[in-house]
Amino acid sequence: MKPIKVGLLGLGTVGTGVVRIVENHQDDLLSQTGAPIEIAKILVQDLSKQRNIPISRDKLTDNPRDVIENEDIDVVIEVMGGIETAKTYILEALERGKHIVTANKDLMALHGPEILAKASEKGCDVFYEASVAGGIPIIRTLIEGFSSDRITKIMGIVNGTTNFILTKMSQEGAAYEDVLKEAQALGYAEADPTSDVEGFDAARKMTILGTLGFRANVALADVSVKGISQVSKEDIAYGKKLGYEVKLLGIAERQDDLISISVQPTMVKQSHPLASVNGVFNAVYVYGEAVGETMFYGPGAGEMPTATSVVADLVAVVRNVKLGIGGRRAFVPYKEKKLKTDEQISAKQYILLHVADKAGVLAQITQVFAEYDVSLESVLQHPNPSNPNAEIIIITHEANQASMKKVLKKFEQLDVVHAIKSVYRVEG
């Protein structure tokens, strides 16, 4: 029986996991696909580097042409990371009729439409399950599982580093800077953690999920992004007192074919399932018009969870090849993208103000909300011995973003408001 030959671009953490699974699960893969799967060539940077898996030296190469131009290779798996070089290799491989599996969220968020268009032109498959939420099969679920439903909202914890930091801050009362150092020491956060803590990594993933969920070409620039670097242990503590946990959420919403997508620290009601997703775990909550509410939970990163998603995509590609339908089931967004305006985006808000500690201040503040037609759900004035200002915590009823911007601008002009310390969306 002729094997399906695979070329692997990259042999880092995920690439190593892919080799382990393919080598150790041959019987399972054969039963699922009807063909043996063989990793024929692997592109590496350093041929002399010691590997922690046994692998034949003649399978390794430092020349990408040995993979991309190899006529025996049917499928190319890209797990090398980066954007421009990976994009070049993938487009060249597609030009030669090779199917693609990638775990590259940055690439798919920025250049997904171009890559998928080339795949469609060449009759090739491009699968990228591992690009979002590691071992959680969320991409295939959005494409296939919700194919008969209309998704109205996708809300998720899609970055394990920030979830680890916020969990430790919540459970231990620690400061952000201290937990970030711990996350870096444990290898959960990079030496430069900007992509994670400022929300850019999550924004790329929400670009992909928004495109799939709403069947429209969402661009990274369409995502409003705010990270967790300004979240204080006071925010976490006050949230707990009010019955909330702080999570960095990606939120994609659709109403009457108008969409909005954001990444932001969010006060999540403790009774909501996302509030109990802790550590480096990810979870994606999907609302469908027919099915209602569903949640998908699991490890968001790591060698084996991510490699499992990569190999699942490989199995799907091989099945399509065996059936002769490769490239015919490609996902192509077909809806026009219509973004909501600030007047059309609405949510509850948590606001922490530092104000002058004197009579009449609260009346001035509530008057501002009334002026812009924002109603209040709760107002709490909290003494803080370490703060000479009074601290006022407000949770609004649902209000549109345009009105909230006007409220906050007015607060900046009030002498009695010394600082707008925090503003977070409220969910659940």
Question: Catalytic positions, please?
Answer: 205
Burial pattern 195-224, b for ≥16 Cβ within 10 A else e, equals bbbbbbbbbbbbbbbbbbbbbbbbbbebbb
- Say which residues have a Cβ less than 8 Å from residue 19's Cβ, sequence separation at least 6: 8, 11, 39, 42, 53, 55
Residue 14 vs residues 11, 19, 81, 186: alpha-carbon distances, Å: 7, 9, 10, 18
d(CA 37, CA 415): 70
225 neighbors 262 (Cβ within 8 angstroms): yes
d(CA 428, CA 350): 13
43, β-bridge pairs:
9, 61
Cα–Cα–Cα angle for 318, 324, 330, nearest 5°? Answer: 75
Distances (CA, A) of 164 to 56, 108, 196, 235: 38, 25, 11, 16
Q: How does 336-357 read in b/e, with b if 16+ C-beta sit within 10 Å?
A: ebeebeeebbbbbbbbbbbbbe
User: How many angstroms separate the Cα of 118 from the Cα of each of 86, 96, 207, 277?
Assistant: 15, 11, 20, 38
Helices (H), 186-342: 194-197, 200-214, 233-241, 303-323
Q: How far apart are CA 324 and CA 328, in angstroms?
A: 9
**H helix intervals, 274-355:** 303-323
3-state secondary structure of 418: strand
